[in-house]
């Protein structure tokens, strides 16, 4: 029962850690917009954490530049299990307009297992919330799977 | 009783004899250590044997050297007199000295001139012990000279260390001014009373206060202040501690300052107990509060481990002086309690600083860091000391500080003098500032990141850990059983402080004090000295255990680590299957520090500007203080002279 | 026999009320209410009131990572010590006429016990070795220094007022302070206590690290400061003890200034023939409501309308404005107003 | 006569202190200390001095009933004090030598590594 409580709670209190992997800041602003009064993601328990140690969901924006790649990976690795990786915007998925640049290493899924992709340039807040909700579900699943083993 | 009578002189002589024997036989290490051990263990045993009659039975042991007992009410010979107050300080000293000696065996083993070190060490101990057990003013002066010389020589012992010689010279100059004050004061008292015996002076003076005796009080007071390093003599302590070897620091802070305090208490409450006590109290409390605050702020500005500890030492002495100056039973009792605690925790902290110096070769807070991984036991011991001095319950500093707050506040309410209230507030704030500066030390020495050059640092040897362990244990015990300490140690001593008649009669025969028509200065009441019930601490312990148990149980059913493992395995499998960049790249940085995603580099947050937010607001004060502590010996001498002049002026005004 | 009964009684105090269970429930609930209120004031929907519970249980289910640079023992034990000390502190504060440890509650003991949770966070942060934690702990320590002086003055002035009234001259015992109020009405109705009460209201957010005095935990600036390296269970313990601290500070305020309310309730209830246990329960509810009002007043409202202060501004603010208020109170108390 | 002694001792002590406070040379500081010591010694002697008193070493056979002693205790004290003074001087001089070796100067204004 205690276990179930924890799994339930995991679905209700996902904390975000936001990594900017060379983004144009459009997605970053949009992510913040999700938390402001109009869309208020906090009503679902979403909260921006200051340190990856406290996060459940990592939100990556930007095309993953050469400069940022090792840092992104390092920060992701420092998030404790169970964790979910969400890419926000088209950049981390395809490179978007930066594709083909010498300094772009993306997509992110080349390096880590990405759980949710939220496409768009930039994605609408509704889409972001939807994506996060999906990620939360995956988080709960991960927790349950880990619990069974 | 007849046997016990010889114990005090034996205790003193054991040190001096040891010093002599080490000069003769000191070349052999084993023999030297044996002599050192025996000559510090013997006085401890002898004085412990006196606990029962003196502290519990409130006997006073008078010992006349060469059996020159007083004739016709005149004390001719040199006397030792051990009352509860003297024995209390004697026990403190014997304990601290014993521990410091154990520590020295390993700590000093790499120095040359070891025999000289032990000789001076034992001379210092003998001097202090002679001082507190003496019943004769001139004898006290002699002992003060012995201990000053020994302390100066020990300060300069590692004369290649930065500033050791300089510190020794400054200490010598100001210390000699203090000694001369004591001598002059002694002589002025002699001129009036024609006796040097404490008991006889105590009987004579109350009825015969005049300008000369009051000036003598000021002179003696300033002299004892230089020994206790009360403000304005605190820079000397800082310099001396910074340069001296750690066990000597223990002696200087735990033992030498106590002798000064003992002198002040004896002087004020036994000899000059009929002076205008209200104003004298105010004076003592004022000096104590100033010492407290000035030294703790000076400590915040330090970046050398031992120098910082030295300033704290004086800050705590300020507490003792404040409490002892209240002239209430509770005040004196709490002051003595804090004096005892000061010896214990300050000794512990200095020994920890010594351990750090021994292993790393530096005490610069900016250079150290992360030692807790290399020296875990020293860290724990240091934390015990740090919590004790900051007055965190349930360590001993809390018990005594709590009593001091009660005492000062009670005094403020009783006398209606808002100045004493000020002392309470200063004491409380100082306590927090103390905590702050020990957080700084903990952060920049034991926690944080380990610099590369200290990768090979090891835990200190068993002997040193044993010495620190004894003190840490005492810190905890005296904190957990404050009722025991107050009942059996400090209250008898406080009673002795106010029992001048008892003191006089024991020395000069029953009825002598009444001959001079004296009454006990102050009634003794310990009603307010009750300390909280220990059940609360048991509860704390229980809750702690409960919390630990809950965690232990819950981690048994913990699936998280399993989860992490499976996730890592899946990651690895995926990395193997798909053409991924840098397989296993994710696991790499997991257990490193978070640096905003950067690879972790060495970036220790040092102690220097840790409390910037505080210092910024006080920047004018700090720069003023920095300029004031100029390090020029003339300035320090000037302070001494000014203090002397003010003390004499004040004494004459209040007469 | 009586030892066993006493033991069970104390066990009940520790485990249920005012110990763990009460602290856990009402502390987290207070936190949730605080967050909800802030959200409403900012015209957001806000998280559910039970959000802190979800956060807490979620953190229990997360992996605990101990960084390589950390001193593992201190890093893991510090949160537990902090939590335990916080709960003990709650035990010492009387709830109207109910007092778990009679005669032990002493304002100076409380002053020092308040230090321990903060100190344990500091020690844990230092033990993690992170530079963010280093900066955070320095700010936390300065915050403690800043808050300590006005807090001391407030406590002394309360001690003086009550001491004057009951004739002992000084009264450090919190039990006596509350008992006095039970029979003579709340202290806040005294003129001299109003500045002290305002100062205390300003101290509460400082002590609990609330806005705008949260320079130590500035998450956007120094990555959660002291908690930068904490994850999983220790973090849960910290979050819990932070929540309990909110409860403790508000309960302390109630005990110091609003104790008289309990007397009124008791009288009202005793006369209306609903006695004993029910009265006690109502008192607990009233206490909780009072705490909520205080949190709304000094945490939520202040949070919603202010921006974070820099650490030296914070220090200056406390040592001038708040200390000034407390000094006014103390001086008035001293001259018997 | 006696007053002169007191004045002289007071003068010596003040002179010594003045020297210590104002002179920026280690050696002069040491001299100041010695001078102060002498002043105190003179004070001790003066306190014990009885005008017309005899030395307290005669036996009863050599004394008449009218003769009285100079107080012997201060003299013993002075002896001790002189010895201590000599020790002080010796010790401080040895320190001065070492400081001179290490710092290359005896100017107090330059010997201030420990400050603040």
Check pLDDT > 70 for residue D21.
yes
Q: What pLDDT does residue A102 have?
A: 86
How is residue B614 written in tokens? 């505080």
Q: What is the pLDDT of residues B143-170, one digit of tens each?
A: 998 888 888 888 888 877 778 888 888 8
Measured between CA atoms, how close is B600 to chain A, in angstroms? 10
Q: Are B89 and B128 in contact (CB under 8 A)?
A: no
Contact B291, B320 (CB under 8 A): no
Per-residue pLDDT tens for C221-240? 677 777 878 887 888 888 88
Range of the domain at A126: 2-148
Determine the Cα–Cα distance for residues A13 and A25; give it in Å rounded to an integer.
Answer: 26
| Strand (E) or helix (H) holding A15 | strand A15-20
The ipTM of this complex is 0.84
> By CA distance, what is B77's nearest residue in D?
D73
Contact, B426 vs B401, CB < 8 A? no
Is residue B584 pLDDT above 50, yes or no? no
Residues of C in contact with B435 (CB under 8 A): 115, 119, 141, 144
| Model confidence at B583: pLDDT above 60 | no
Q: Residue B576: pLDDT above 60?
A: no
**Domain count for chain C:** 1
**Hey, of C6, C85, C112, which one would you mutate to test binding to chain B, going by the most B CBs within 10 A of its CB?**
C112
Nearest to A111 among B581, B587, B589 (CB): B581
Closest chain A residue to C32, measured at CA: A45
At least 3 CB pairs under 8 A between chains D and C: no
Question: Who wins on pLDDT, B596 or B360?
Answer: B360
pLDDT recorded at residue C78: 83
**Helices D2-22, B633-654: inter-axial angle, 10-degree rounding:** 140
Chain B hits for A71, CB-CB cut-off 8 Å, are 596-598
pLDDT digits (tens, 9 = 90+) for B58-91: 778 888 877 777 777 677 778 888 888 888 899 8
pLDDT digits (tens, 9 = 90+) for A61-91: 888 888 888 888 888 888 887 888 888 888 8
Nearest CA in chain B to D17: B641
Across chain D, mean pLDDT equals 84
Tell me which H or E stretch contains D6.
Answer: helix D2-22
Mean pLDDT of the B171-183 span: 90
The label of the residue with tokens 């009792």 reads B333
Query: Given this model, what pLDDT does residue D12 score?
Result: 92
- Nearest Cα to C60, choosing from B560, B594, B556? B560
- Chain-wide mean pLDDT for chain B? 80
User: What is the spatial distance between Cα A135 and Cα B81, in angstroms, rounded to a whole number?
Assistant: 82
Are A111 and B563 within 8 A, CB to CB? no
**Chains A, D in contact, 3 or more Cβ pairs below 8 Å:** no
Q: How confident is the model at residue B558 (pLDDT cuts 50, 70, 90)?
A: low
Residues 335-394 of B with CB under 8 A from D: none
Q: What are phi and psi of B296, to 5 degrees?
A: -70, -35
Chain A residues lying within 8 Å of C43, measured CB to CB: 37
Q: Which chains neighbour C (Cβ–Cβ under 8 Å, 3 or more pairs)?
A: A, B
Residue of A nearest to C54 (CA): A9
Angle at C136 between CA C134 and CA C141, to 5 degrees: 95
The mean pLDDT of B481-487, rounded to a whole number, is: 77
Contact: B594, A77; criterion CB under 8 Å? no
Q: What is the b/e burial string over D65-88, where b = at least 16 CB atoms within 10 angstroms of the residue's CB?
A: eeeeebbebbeebbeebeebbeeb
pLDDT digits over B429-458, tens only? Answer: 888 888 888 888 888 888 877 777 877 878
Looking up tokens 């010498």 gives A102
pLDDT of res. A148:
46
Residues in chain A: 149
What percentage of chain C carries pLDDT values higher than 70?
88
Torsion of CA B296, B302, B307, B309, to 10 degrees: 40
Q: Calculate mean pLDDT across residues C36-48.
A: 85
Residue B580 in this model has a pLDDT that exceeds 50: no
Provide the pairing of β-strand A57-61 with A116-118. Answer: unpaired
What are C314-326's pLDDT values in tens digits? Answer: 888 888 888 998 8
How far apart CA D60 and CA D58 sit, in angstroms, is 7
Q: Is the pLDDT confidence value at B525 over 60? A: no
Residues 124-183 of B with CB under 8 A from D: 138, 142, 145, 149, 152-153, 156, 159, 162-163, 165-169, 172-173, 176-177, 179-180, 183
> How many other C-beta atoms are found inside a 10 Å radius of the C-beta of residue A55?
27
Q: Distance between CA atoms of C290 and B557, rounded to whole angstroms?
A: 39
Structure tokens at B516: 């001079």
Contact A125, A39 (CB under 8 A): yes
What pLDDT was estimated at residue B596? 63
Range of the domain at C152: 2-334
pLDDT at B531 over 70: no
**pLDDT band, very low/low/confident/very high, at B567 (cuts 50, 70, 90):** low
Establish how many alpha carbons lie within 13 A of residue C201's alpha carbon, considering only the half-sphere containing its beta carbon: 23
Concatenated DSSP letters of A53-91: GG-SEEEEES--BTTTHHHHHHHHHTSPSS-EEEEESSH
- Cα A136 to Cα B106, B578, D15: the distances in Å are 60, 26, 86
Q: Which pair of tokens denotes residue A47?
A: 């909260």
Interchain proximity C230–A143, CB inside 8 Å: no
Q: Could A78 and B580 be called an inter-chain contact, meaning their C-beta atoms sit closer than 8 Å?
A: no
**A in contact with B (at least 3 C-beta pairs within 8 A):** yes
**A35 interface with B at CB cutoff 8 Å:** no
Band (pLDDT 50/70/90 cuts) for residue D15 is very high
Q: Which two tokens stand for residue B279?
A: 């104003």
- Chain D residues lying within 8 Å of B152, measured CB to CB: 91, 95
Residue B566 has a pLDDT of 59
Please answer whether residues C143 and C121 qualify as being in contact, where contact means their C-beta atoms are separated by less than 8 angstroms.
no
Rounded (10°) angle between helices B84-107 and B7-25 = 20
Domain count, chain A: 1
Comparing CB atoms, the residue among A70, A75, A146 nearest residue B566 is A146
- How many alpha carbons fall within 13 Å on the CB side of residue A41? 23
| CB-based contact, B113 to chain D, within 8 Å | no
Min CA distance, A75 vs chain B (Å)? 5
Residue to mutate among A50, A52, A77, with most B CBs inside 10 A, is A77
Kindly state whether D59 is in contact with chain B, defined as any CB-CB distance less than 8 angstroms: no
CATH of domain D2-53+66-110: 1.10.287.3510
pLDDT band of C118, cuts 50, 70, 90: confident
- Domain ranges in chain D are 2-53+66-110
pLDDT of residue B586: 57
Q: B232: cis peptide before it, omega within 30°?
A: yes
Stretch B391-395: mean pLDDT, rounded? 79
Q: Residue B527: what pLDDT?
A: 46
Q: Which pLDDT score is estimated for A40?
A: 84
pTM for the model stands at: 0.88
State the CATH number of the domain containing residue A10.
Answer: 3.40.50.12280
């Amino acid at each position: 029962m205690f276990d179930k409580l924890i799994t339930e709670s995991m679905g209700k209190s996902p904390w975000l850690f936001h990594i900017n992997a060379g983004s144009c800041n459009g997605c970053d602003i949009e992510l913040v917009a999700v938390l402001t009064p109009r869309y208020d993601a906090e009503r679902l328990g979403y909260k921006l954490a200051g340190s990856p140690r406290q996060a459940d969901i990592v939100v990556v924006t930007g095309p993953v530049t050469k400069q940022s790649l090792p840092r992104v990976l390092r920060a992701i690795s420092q998030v404790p299990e169970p964790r979910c990786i969400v890419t926000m915007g088209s950049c981390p998925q395809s490179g978007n307009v930066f594709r083909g640049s010498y300094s772009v290493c993306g997509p992110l899924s080349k390096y880590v297992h990405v759980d949710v992709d939220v496409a768009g340039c930039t994605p609408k807040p509704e889409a972001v919330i939807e994506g996060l909700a999906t990620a939360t579900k995956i988080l709960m699943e991960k927790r349950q799977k880990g619990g069974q083993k | 009783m007849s046997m016990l009578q010889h114990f005090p002189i034996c205790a003193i002589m054991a040190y001096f004899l040891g010093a002599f024997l080490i000069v003769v036989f000191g070349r052999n290490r084993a023999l030297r250590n044996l002599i050192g051990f025996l000559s510090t263990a013997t006085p401890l045993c002898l004085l412990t044997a006196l606990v029962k009659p003196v502290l519990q039975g409130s006997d006073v042991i008078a010992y006349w050297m060469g059996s020159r007992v007083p004739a016709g009410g005149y004390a001719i010979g040199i006397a030792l007199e051990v009352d509860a107050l003297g024995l209390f300080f004697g026990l403190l000293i014997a304990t601290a000295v014993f521990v410091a000696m154990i520590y020295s065996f390993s700590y000093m083993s790499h120095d040359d001139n070891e025999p000289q070190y032990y000789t001076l060490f034992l001379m210092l101990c003998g001097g202090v012990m002679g001082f507190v057990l003496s019943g004769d003013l001139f004898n006290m002066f002699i002992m003060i000279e012995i201990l000053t010389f020994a302390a100066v020589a020990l300060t300069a012992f590692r004369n290649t260390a930065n500033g050791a010689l300089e510190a020794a010279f400054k200490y010598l100059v100001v210390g000699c001014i203090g000694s001369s004050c004591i001598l002059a004061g002694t002589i002025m008292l002699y001129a009036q009373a024609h006796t040097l015996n404490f008991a006889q002076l105590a009987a004579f003076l109350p009825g015969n206060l005049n300008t000369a005796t009051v000036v003598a009080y000021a002179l003696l007071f300033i002299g004892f202040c230089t020994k206790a390093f009360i403000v304005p003599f605190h820079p000397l302590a800082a310099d001396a501690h910074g340069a001296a070897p750690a066990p000597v620091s223990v002696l200087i802070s735990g033992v030498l300052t106590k002798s000064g305090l003992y002198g002040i208490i004896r002087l004020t409450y036994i000899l000059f107990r009929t002076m205008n006590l209200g104003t004298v109290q105010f004076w003592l409390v004022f000096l104590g509060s100033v010492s407290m605050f000035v030294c703790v702020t000076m400590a915040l500005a330090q970046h050398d481990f031992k120098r910082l500890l030295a300033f704290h030492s004086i800050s705590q002495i300020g507490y003792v002086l404040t409490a002892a100056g209240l002239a209430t039973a509770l005040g004196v009792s709490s002051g003595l309690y804090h004096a005892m605690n000061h010896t214990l925790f300050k000794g512990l902290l200095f020994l920890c600083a010594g351990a750090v110096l021994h292993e790393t070769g530096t005490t610069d807070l900016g250079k150290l860091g992360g030692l807790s991984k290399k020296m875990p036991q020293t860290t724990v011991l240091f934390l015990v000391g740090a919590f004790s001095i900051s007055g965190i319950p349930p360590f001993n500093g809390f018990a005594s500080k709590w009593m001091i707050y009660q005492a000062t506040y009670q005094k403020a309410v009783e006398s209606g003098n808002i100045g004493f209230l000020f002392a309470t507030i200063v004491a409380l704030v100082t306590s927090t500032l103390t905590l702050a500066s020990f957080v700084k030390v903990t952060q920049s020495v034991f926690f944080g990141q380990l610099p590369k050059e200290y990768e090979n640092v090891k835990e200190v040897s068993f002997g040193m850990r044993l010495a620190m362990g004894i003190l840490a244990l005492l810190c905890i015990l005296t904190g957990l059983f404050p009722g025991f300490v107050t009942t059996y140690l400090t209250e008898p001593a406080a009673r002795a402080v106010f029992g001048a008649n008892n003191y006089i009669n024991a020395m000069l025969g029953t009825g002598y004090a009444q001959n001079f028509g004296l009454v006990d200065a102050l009634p003794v009441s310990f009603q307010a000295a009750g300390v909280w019930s220990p059940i609360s601490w048991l509860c704390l312990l229980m809750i702690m255990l409960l919390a630990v148990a809950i965690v232990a149980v819950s981690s048994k059913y913990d699936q998280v680590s399993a989860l992490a493992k499976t996730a890592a395995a899946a990651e690895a499998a995926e990395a193997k299957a798909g053409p991924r960049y840098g397989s296993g790249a994710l696991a790499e940085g997991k257990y490193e520090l978070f640096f905003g995603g950067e690879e972790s580099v060495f970036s220790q947050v040092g102690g220097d500007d840790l409390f910037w937010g505080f210092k910024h607001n006080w920047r004018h004060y700090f720069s003023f203080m920095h300029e004031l502590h100029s390090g020029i010996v003339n300035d320090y001498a000037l302070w001494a002279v000014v203090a002397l002049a003010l003390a004499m002026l004040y004494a004459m005004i209040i007469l | 026999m009586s030892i066993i009964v006493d033991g069970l009684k104390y066990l009940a105090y520790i485990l249920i009320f005012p110990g763990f269970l009460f602290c856990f429930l009402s502390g987290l609930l207070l936190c949730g209410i605080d967050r909800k209120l802030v959200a409403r004031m900012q015209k957001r929907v806000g998280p559910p009131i039970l959000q802190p519970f979800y956060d807490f249980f979620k953190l229990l289910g997360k992996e605990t990572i101990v960084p390589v640079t950390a001193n593992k023992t201190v890093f893991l034990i510090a949160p537990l010590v902090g939590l335990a000390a916080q709960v003990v502190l709650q035990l010492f504060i009387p709830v109207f006429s109910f007092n778990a440890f009679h005669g032990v509650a002493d304002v100076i003991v409380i002053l020092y016990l308040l230090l321990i949770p903060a100190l344990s966070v500091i020690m844990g942060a230092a033990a993690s070795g992170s530079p963010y934690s280093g900066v955070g702990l320095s700010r936390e320590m300065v915050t403690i220094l800043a808050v300590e002086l006005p807090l001391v003055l407030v406590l002394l002035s309360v001690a003086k007022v009550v001491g004057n009234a009951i004739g002992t001259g000084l009264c450090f015992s919190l039990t006596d302070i509350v008992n006095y109020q039970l029979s003579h009405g709340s202290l806040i109705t005294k003129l001299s206590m109003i500045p002290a009460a305002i100062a205390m209201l300003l101290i509460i957010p400082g002590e609990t690290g609330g806005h705008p005095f949260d320079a130590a935990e500035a998450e956007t600036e120094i990555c959660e400061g002291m908690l930068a390296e904490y994850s999983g269970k220790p973090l849960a313990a910290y979050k819990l003890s932070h929540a309990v601290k909110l409860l403790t500070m508000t309960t302390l305020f109630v005990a110091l200034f609003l104790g008289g309310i309990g007397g009124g309730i008791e009288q009202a209830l005793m006369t209306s023939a609903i006695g004993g246990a029910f009265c006690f329960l109502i008192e607990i509810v009233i206490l909780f409501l009072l705490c909520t009002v205080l949190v709304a007043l000094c945490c939520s409202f202040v949070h919603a309308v202010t921006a974070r202060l820099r650490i030296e501004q914070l220090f200056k603010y406390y040592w001038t404005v708040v200390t000034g208020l407390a000094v006014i109170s103390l001086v008035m108390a001293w001259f018997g107003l | 006569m006696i007053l002169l002694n007191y004045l002289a001792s007071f003068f010596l002590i003040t002179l010594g202190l003045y020297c210590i406070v104002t002179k920026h040379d280690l050696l002069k500081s040491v001299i100041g200390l010695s001078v102060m010591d002498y002043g105190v010694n003179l004070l001790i002697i003066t306190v014990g001095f009885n005008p017309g008193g005899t030395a307290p070493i005669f036996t009863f056979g050599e004394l008449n009933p009218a003769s009285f002693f100079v107080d012997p205790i201060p003299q013993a004290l002075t002896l001790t004090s002189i010895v201590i003074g000599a020790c002080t001087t010796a010790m401080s001089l040895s320190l001065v030598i070492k400081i001179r070796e290490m710092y290359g100067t005896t100017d107090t204004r330059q010997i201030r590594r420990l400050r603040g």
